[in-house]
């Protein structure tokens, strides 16, 4: 079970300063998770950690700081660098984001041993090409091994599209070998795979995989693109494996995909589907090296930061349009009650009376829902009872 986050600021500081309890042969892997805003990076990070410490919301730019999550499993430590969604100066200005939002993702890449590129396959506008910011990031750090993670596959009705998306995003090459994917799935466009998929590169597509979600429905296909959880997809391609060359931004100006991914994983982070498969893979990629954190550390955030972020997540969730971005949070009380419960009182300051009315809601419904749901999440993070009171004032 993952450790809880300390509720006391000083205790958390002490934990972070604690010398790591190094095992005999420690291994470590630093993972940067990058992707367009709202691809599900924080959801995936929380699932990998086993506790909710990163805020999640349907609105973009819920994650505003560069936080770290720590997974300690036996002799291995995975350090997740949860980065803000890659954005550009124009969008940053529109959402009132600070400078750090533009530099932080790049900063994380400098410290990473592996990069996970997360793509939301349920978004039909963006799923067939990597964003310019993501491609720029990969081009600048071509020496860092990268893995493609297709997220939200449970929402995709037509599972055969996954092959098309995978081919577009990898330019048909995974781990230096060609993906040969014929459009063999036309006759049953509604075919739905029962489980998310994990593609790796090198096995001829002709070989049928028993029990494969695609196999049953497409027996007539001349060259079945059969995938299941453990199956490999790839081509009998003769392409030699080549290390990624350093691409200048010019070389990749019209590129849509990245031909240097080592693996492709397909999962549904929200429901935890196939997250364990990815986690096992990450643990296997760890290299000998000293741990950075004590095994009792789950995140480097302070308890107050976690609290602020989780309340903010709910405000983003339940307030329309740009309204949430103008709310200022001030913690007035943070103390431990007689029975070990945590008492938190926070004021939410808004610029207008109309925003105050929206945030309180008819009969106080909105604000009480925010307090209830945020309280539940905080209990999960701190593993203790939490009494959260929220007040709304016009600043």
CATH of the domain at 377: 3.30.300.20
Q: Is residue 105 part of a domain?
A: yes
Same domain as 17, residue 150: yes
Q: Which of 106, 63, 100, 67 is nearest to 85 (CA)?
A: 63
Inter-residue contact 269 to 43 (CB < 8 Å)? yes
Question: Kind of pairing, strands 342-350 and 328-336?
Answer: antiparallel
β-strand partners of 63 = none
Gap between the Cα atoms of 52 and 55, Å rounded: 8
Q: Is residue 217 part of a domain?
A: no
Beta carbons within 8 Å of 276's beta carbon, 6+ residues apart: none
Same domain as 364, residue 263: no
HEC string of 130-198? CCHHHHHHHHHCCCCCEEEEEECCCCCCCCCHHHHHHHHHHCCEECCEECCCCCCCCCCCCCCCCCCCE
- Angle at Cα 53 formed by Cα 39 and Cα 372, nearest 5°? 100
Higher pLDDT, 272 or 254: 272
| Cα dist from 76 to 46, 144, 201, 280, 282, whole Å | 18, 20, 26, 11, 10
Same domain as 282, residue 313: no
- Least confident window among 12-26, 43-57, 241-255, 352-366: 241-255
Q: Is residue 230 part of a domain?
A: no
Same domain as 178, residue 309: no
Q: Is the dihedral of CA 284, 287, 290, 293 positive or negative?
A: negative
Same domain as 155, residue 85: yes
Q: Is residue 212 part of a domain?
A: no
Q: Is residue 112 part of a domain?
A: yes
Same domain as 170, residue 109: yes
Total residue length of the chain: 395
Same domain as 339, residue 268: no
Same domain as 270, residue 337: no
Predicted pLDDT at 66: 63
Taking residues 318-324, report their average pLDDT. Answer: 82
Gap between the Cα atoms of 350 and 355, Å rounded: 6
Residue 309 has pLDDT above 80, yes or no: yes
Higher pLDDT, 22 or 195: 22
Question: Kind of pairing, strands 177-178 and 342-350?
Answer: unpaired
Count of alpha carbons within 13 angstroms of residue 129, beta-carbon side: 11
Predicted pLDDT at 82: 61
Element (DSSP H or E) covering residue 329: strand 328-336
pLDDT digit string, tens, across residues 116-147 = 999 999 999 999 999 888 898 899 999 999 99
Residue 184 has pLDDT above 80, yes or no: no
Same domain as 276, residue 127: yes
β-strand partners of 347 = 330, 391
Tell me the pLDDT band of 81, cut-offs 50, 70 and 90.
Answer: confident
Taking residues 154-175, report their average pLDDT. Answer: 92
Same domain as 343, residue 282: no
Query: pTM (2 decimals)?
Result: 0.78
Gap between the Cα atoms of 73 and 333, Å rounded: 36
Question: Kind of pairing, strands 27-35 and 76-82?
Answer: parallel
Same domain as 120, residue 14: yes
What value does the mean pLDDT of the chain take?
79
* CB contact burial 263-294 (16+ within 10 A = b; e otherwise): bbbbbbbbeebbbebbbebbbebbeeeebbbb
Q: What is the DSSP letter of 29?
A: E
Gap between the Cα atoms of 299 and 5, Å rounded: 7
Same domain as 312, residue 284: no
Q: Is residue 213 part of a domain?
A: no
Tell me the pLDDT band of 269, cut-offs 50, 70 and 90.
Answer: very high
Q: Mean pLDDT highest for which of 58-67, 175-184, 230-239, 365-374? A: 365-374
Predicted pLDDT at 146: 96
The total number of structural domains in the chain stands at: 2
Q: What is the CATH number of the domain that holds 15?
A: 3.40.50.300
Q: Is residue 282 part of a domain?
A: yes
Q: Is residue 353 part of a domain?
A: yes
Residue 75 has pLDDT above 70, yes or no: yes
Which domain does 368 fall in, by range? 303-394
HEC string of 219-257? CCCCCCCCCCCCCCCCCCCCCCCCCCCCCCCCCCCCCCC
Residue entry with tokens 């027996």: 219
Inter-residue contact 270 to 43 (CB < 8 Å)? yes
Higher pLDDT, 151 or 209: 151
Gap between the Cα atoms of 217 and 220, Å rounded: 8
Residue 245 has pLDDT above 90, yes or no: no
Predicted pLDDT at 391: 96
């Amino acid at each position: 079970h993952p450790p809880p986050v300390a509720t006391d600021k000083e205790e958390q500081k002490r934990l972070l300063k604690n010398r790591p309890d190094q095992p005999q042969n420690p291994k470590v892997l630093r993972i940067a998770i990058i992707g367009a805003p709202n691809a599900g990076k924080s959801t995936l990070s929380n699932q990998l950690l086993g506790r909710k410490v990163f805020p999640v919301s349907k609105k973009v730019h819920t994650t505003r700081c560069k936080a770290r999550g720590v997974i300690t499993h036996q002799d291995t430590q995975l350090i997740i660098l949860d980065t803000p969604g890659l954005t550009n100066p124009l969008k940053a200005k529109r959402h009132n984001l600070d400078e750090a939002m533009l530099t932080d993702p790049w900063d994380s890449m400098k410290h990473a041993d592996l990069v996970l590129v997360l793509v939301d396959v349920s978004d039909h506008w963006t799923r067939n090409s990597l964003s310019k910011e993501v491609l720029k990031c990969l081009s600048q750090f071509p020496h860092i091994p990268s893995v493609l993670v297709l997220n939200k596959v449970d929402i995709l009705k037509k599972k055969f599209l996954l092959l098309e998306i995978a081919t577009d995003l990898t330019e048909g090459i995974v781990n230096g070998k060609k993906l040969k994917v014929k459009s063999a799935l036309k006759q049953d466009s509604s075919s739905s795979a029962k489980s998310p998929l994990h593609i790796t590169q090198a096995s001829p597509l002709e070989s049928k995989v028993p029990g494969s979600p695609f196999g049953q429905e497409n027996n007539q296909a001349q060259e079945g693109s059969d995938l299941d959880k453990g199956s490999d997809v790839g081509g009998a391609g003769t392409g030699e494996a080549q290390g990624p060359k350093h691409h200048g931004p010019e070389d990749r100006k019209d590129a849509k995909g990245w031909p240097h991914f080592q693996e492709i994983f397909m999962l549904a982070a929200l429901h935890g589907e196939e997250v364990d498969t990815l986690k096992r893979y990450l643990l296997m990629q760890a290299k000998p090296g000293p741990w950075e954190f004590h095994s009792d550390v789950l995140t480097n955030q302070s308890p107050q930061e976690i609290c602020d972020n989780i309340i903010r997540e709910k405000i983003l969730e339940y307030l329309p349009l740009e309204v949430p971005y103008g709310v200022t949070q001030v913690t007035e009380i943070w103390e431990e009650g007689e029975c070990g419960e945590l008492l938190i009182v926070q004021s939410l300051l808004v610029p207008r009376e109309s925003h105050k009315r929206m945030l309180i809601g008819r009969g106080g419904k909105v604000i009480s829902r925010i307090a209830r749901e945020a309280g539940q999440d905080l209990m999960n993070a701190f593993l203790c009872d939490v009494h959260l009171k929220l007040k709304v004032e016009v600043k």
